[in-house]
């Protein structure tokens, strides 16, 4: 093995280890409890998407699966750990693969139309899911491990999610016209990967969780939580990926 290959392998292993740790920390350190749906929301998806977009499908799959599984074990949810390993690995791998397989459209106008549609769907999902399930009183927990009582309790009005959804549509559309017409493909890649996560957990909770671990299945109730994590993860990760790529353009290679 050449010196260059050894350096490349060492760099990849280092990036994978750091990314795995960041996914685990992001999943554990910041969580919001929503009494309306009796569920917790975390930002682990953000780091999975950032890792997969920047470093590719292998790093995205390993960091997503192993990092999220470690978080489940440390947070006291070992019955989710096997499913998390497989589901989050698939999520990271799919995002990483699609992000590097940008199709060729015949014109910039088609790309801008595609980006607008993707932005419209993302904004509509954020506005509808947020207003229906994430509005009202929410509790913020910060720390590893999460504290027994919330660090902050606050009220989120439904209008907040509608305004945020409209802002997302505007910003994504503007990015397609001003920055790069293909911007929508990055969102699409994360949307497909997130859909793998949402459907994977639904199937696991619905058909395996209760028979294997005697835990009551709450698959339907968890759907808005997982969809919310997917959409918010997409929105947060996009500017992070863009900033890192502009600061370190060699990452694109």
- pLDDT tens digits for range 170-207: 999 999 998 888 889 999 999 999 999 999 999 998 88
Q: Please, is 248 exposed, middle or buried when counting C-beta atoms within 10 Å of its C-beta (0-12, 13-18, 19+)?
A: exposed
* 47-82 per-residue burial string, b: 16 or more CB within 10 A, e: under 16: bbbbbbbbbbbebbbbbbbbbbbbbbeebeeebbbe
pLDDT at 160: 94
Question: What Rg, from alpha-carbon coordinates, does the chain have?
Answer: 19
pLDDT of residue 217: 60
Q: What is the mean pLDDT of the chain?
A: 88
Domains of the chain (ranges plus CATH)? 3-252 (1.10.1760.20)
> What pLDDT score was predicted for residue 2?
56
Q: What is the pLDDT of residue 237?
A: 94
Q: Which two tokens stand for residue 149?
A: 């009582």
Reading the block at residue 112, the tokens are 């801008």
What pLDDT sits at residue 233?
A: 92
Q: Which residue ranges in the chain fall short of pLDDT 50?
A: none
- Long-range CB pairs of 82-85, under 8 A, 24+ apart, other chains included: 83/200, 83/201, 83/204, 83/208, 83/209
């Amino acid at each position: 093995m050449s010196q260059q290959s050894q350096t490349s392998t060492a760099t990849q292993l280092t990036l994978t280890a750091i990314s795995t740790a960041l996914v685990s920390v992001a999943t554990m350190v910041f969580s919001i409890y929503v009494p309306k749906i009796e569920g917790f929301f975390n930002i682990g998806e953000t780091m999975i998407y950032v890792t997969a977009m920047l470093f590719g499908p292998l790093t995205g799959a390993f960091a997503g699966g192993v990092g999220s599984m470690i978080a489940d074990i440390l947070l006291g949810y070992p019955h989710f750990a096997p499913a998390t390993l497989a589901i989050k690995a698939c999520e990271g791998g799919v995002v990483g693969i699609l992000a590097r397989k940008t199709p060729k459209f015949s014109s910039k106008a088609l790309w801008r139309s595609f980006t607008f549609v993707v932005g419209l769907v993302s904004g509509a999902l954020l506005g509808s899911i947020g207003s229906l399930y994430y509005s009202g009183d929410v509790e913020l927990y910060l720390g590893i491990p999460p504290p027994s009582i919330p660090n902050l309790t606050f009220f989120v009005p439904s209008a907040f999610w509608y305004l945020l959804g409209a802002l997302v549509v505007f910003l994504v559309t503007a990015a397609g016209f001003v920055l790069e017409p293909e911007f929508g493909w990055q969102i699409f890649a994360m949307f497909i990967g997130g859909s793998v996560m949402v459907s994977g957990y639904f199937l696991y909770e619905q058909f395996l969780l209760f028979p294997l671990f005697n835990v009551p299945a709450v698959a339907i109730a968890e759907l808005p939580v997982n969809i919310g994590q997917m959409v918010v993860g997409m929105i947060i990760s996009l500017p992070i990926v863009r900033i890192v790529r502009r600061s370190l353009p060699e990452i694109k290679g």
